[in-house]
Chain A
Amino acid sequence: MNTKAANSGSGPTQSGRPARLSLADWMPKIVMAPTVIVTLVCIYGYMIWTAILSFTGSRMLPSYKFVGFDQYERLFNNDRWLVALSNLGVFGGLFILICLFLGVTLAIFLDQKIRAEGAIRTIYLYPMAISFIVTGTAWKWLLNPTNGFEKMMIDFGFEDFKFDWLINPDMVVYCLVIAAVWQASGFVMALFLAGLRGVDGDLIKAAHLDGASTFTTYRRIILPSLKPVFFSALVILSHIAIKSFDLVAALTNGGPGYSSDLPANFMYAHTFTRSQIGLGSASAMVMLGCVLAILIPYLYSELRGERHE
């Protein structure tokens, strides 16, 4: 960056300026200082702090008696954690796939010069403005077997209709998927729609002149050019999935039992209510690892892309 600035400007550069430093020269650094300090302490410092705690035997209060990898060993022998992890796999996988599929499909459909496109888009996207707590509350009511969807179908005359996923330990994780997809898929649609509007119109015209059908045009030209959007959406959705905490709290509270726990809920319960700070910290570090595993390749490709500009 510095070399770029030095090459591009004919005027004085930061490094080349004479020693007469005025307050104005310090101002940028002074105003940035609070953010720099807070970031270093509250993001990186705390990360290290949590990392350290995860190697200690801390229970109700942090203690600094190191126990090596014991907490991680306990973590991966803990059935509740394993359930939470596998729930994250199922929930995250389905949530991401369905959102991507719905997002692309709806965006393509909406891009066909639809009348009242604005109104439809507004309807698809409004759940994104709502808190996951509200979403959870709404779907808890819709999915409850006594008064909700099941009862409605029975009253409609489907007397054997059964829909008890919310209280069925094997199926409850799919309830999380339904509610999360409802909330986030419109947003993915908006991302893809923005991407579609950015596709070069001449390219499409050329394809049509060459006799390509609409379907082929989408498959061979338009969708491949949306690869960056796919990539961004994938990163954002996996990020939402890993951080999901409030939806579980509101929709199932982890239940029945702990069958619908996600890692974030495990971490919260062990750190704040079950006096297992060491174990909670270890689980937080595993979550961080998951996020970094997705983030680092993404940022790497983003930054590389910027350099090529």
Chain B
Amino acid sequence: MSNPSVGRKKSGLDKLLRVALYTVLLIVAAFYLMPFIVMLLTSFKDVEEIRTGTLLSLPSVLNFESWSKAWSSACTGSSCGGISPYFMNSFQIVLPAVAISTLLGAINGYVISLWKFRGSDLFFAALLVGCFIPFQVILLPMARTLGWLGIANTTTGLVFVHVVYGVAFTTLFFRNFYQSIPGELVKAARLDGAGFFTIFYRIILPVSTPIIVVTIIWQFTQIWNDFLFGVAFSGFDTQPVTVALNNLVNTSFGGKEYNVDMAAAIIAALPTLAVYVFAGKYFVRGLTAGAVKG
């Protein structure tokens, strides 16, 4: 859309309006940035500076102590080894869960778009509901199921849960993407003798890179940031980093160490922030794709 005022002569009023516009935009930007800046500043202060200073006062020296404490020796509920083990847990959960759910989503989307069978559309509609249900409604039965399967309180169990409830989204993404591929392409390939998987590998996958990136980023962010499944289905040693962070912040032996809390929070946020900074375009695309249709 083009700016309506372009092409007209710029009056003084127009100039004033634009100054006001930029001012508002910058103030709002400050509002969004402020919590992160305060977190960063706080993480570099020592406890004394936090007590005497204000939110926005600068630390006198860059003090990395709280960072190393958050990483390796802060107490999170039952143990005092920092959040690093839980950070690793998160990776152990996220990587397989993202890989499996993306792969399943790609295959499902391929079938639903290009190999329709009786009931496949109905099933897709049923699957869509899975994107929307409040997970509270499946929490207890899932806890029981994980117990029966012998994977309660394990990272394997969490991978399973994230795959089960992530597949609805990944299927939706791939299905919407594959809708634009003409069905004739598949028909022609079949007449040439290509099978189900050959067509997938040779024709479909090579054009799927953008949607694969979007899906991986979406799933990575969702699963990394999950708290509900983490807190409901993990054991003491298998907690994801979000659960450990929450325990760390809400554990209060002795004095409250806000600097350590903030350092831990930033560490927990780093992987998804990095994804956002380096692949923001795909991140936004995933958000809007997942949102508009999901």
Partner of A120, one of B25, B36, B246: B25
Partner of B104, one of A11, A35, A196: A35
Chain A positions within 8 Å of B228 at CB level: 245-246, 264, 268
Residue of A nearest to B259 (CB): A141
Among A32, A38, A124, find the residue whose CB has the most chain B CB atoms closer than 10 A: A32
A39 at the interface (CB under 8 A from B): yes
| Given A182-B31, A194-B288: A242 and B134 interface contact (C-beta under 8 Å) | yes
Chain A 257-296: CB-based contact to B (< 8 A → 1; otherwise 0): 0000001100110011000010011011101101100010
* Binding-face segment, B91-99, B111-119, B204-212: B111-119
Chain B positions within 8 Å of A38 at CB level: 164, 167
B269 at the interface (CB under 8 A from A): yes
Work out how many contacts link A and B, with CB atoms closer than 8 A.
279
Say yes or no: B141 contacts A123, CB within 8 Å: no
Say yes or no: A197 contacts B21, CB within 8 Å: no
Interface size on A, residues (CB 8 A): 111
Residue of A nearest to B196 (CB): A27
Nearest chain B CB to A100 CB, angstrom units: 14
Among B134, B165, B227, find the residue whose CB has the most chain A CB atoms closer than 10 A: B134
Say yes or no: A271 contacts B139, CB within 8 Å: yes
| Given A35-B167, A271-B139, A287-B134: A201 and B55 interface contact (C-beta under 8 Å) | no
Among B35, B121, B130, B293, find the residue whose CB has the most chain A CB atoms closer than 10 A: B35
Q: In the complex the two chains form, what is the Cα distance from A288 to B256 in whole Å?
A: 38
Restricting to B11-56, which residues have a CB under 8 Å from any CB of A? 18, 21-22, 24-25, 28-29, 31-36, 38-39, 42, 50-51, 54-56
Q: In the complex the two chains form, what is the Cα distance from A41 to B137 in whole Å?
A: 13
Chain B 187-201: CB-based contact to A (< 8 A → 1; otherwise 0): 100100001110000
Chain B interface size, under 10 / 10 to 19 / 20 to 34 / 35 or more: 35 or more
B58 at the interface (CB under 8 A from A): no
| Given A134-B268, A182-B31, A204-B1: A39 and B127 interface contact (C-beta under 8 Å) | yes
Say yes or no: A28 contacts B111, CB within 8 Å: yes
A79 at the interface (CB under 8 A from B): no
Say yes or no: B291 contacts A236, CB within 8 Å: yes
Say yes or no: B134 contacts A126, CB within 8 Å: no
Partner of B245, one of A31, A133, A191: A133
Nearest chain A CB to B57 CB, angstrom units: 8
Can you list 22 residue pairs at the A/B interface with Cβ under 8 Å? A38-B164, A44-B126, A113-B6, A114-B25, A123-B29, A137-B262, A137-B265, A139-B35, A141-B42, A149-B55, A194-B288, A214-B4, A232-B291, A245-B227, A249-B227, A250-B246, A268-B136, A268-B228, A277-B140, A283-B136, A284-B136, A291-B134
Interface residues of A (CB under 8 A from B): 1-2, 5, 9, 11, 14, 23-24, 27-29, 31-32, 34-36, 38-39, 42-47, 49-50, 53, 62, 106, 109-114, 120, 122-142, 147-149, 151-152, 155-156, 182, 186-187, 190-191, 194, 196-197, 199, 201, 204-205, 208, 214, 217, 222, 232-233, 236, 239, 242-243, 245-246, 249-250, 253, 263-264, 267-268, 271-272, 277, 280-281, 283-285, 287-288, 290-291, 295, 299, 302-303
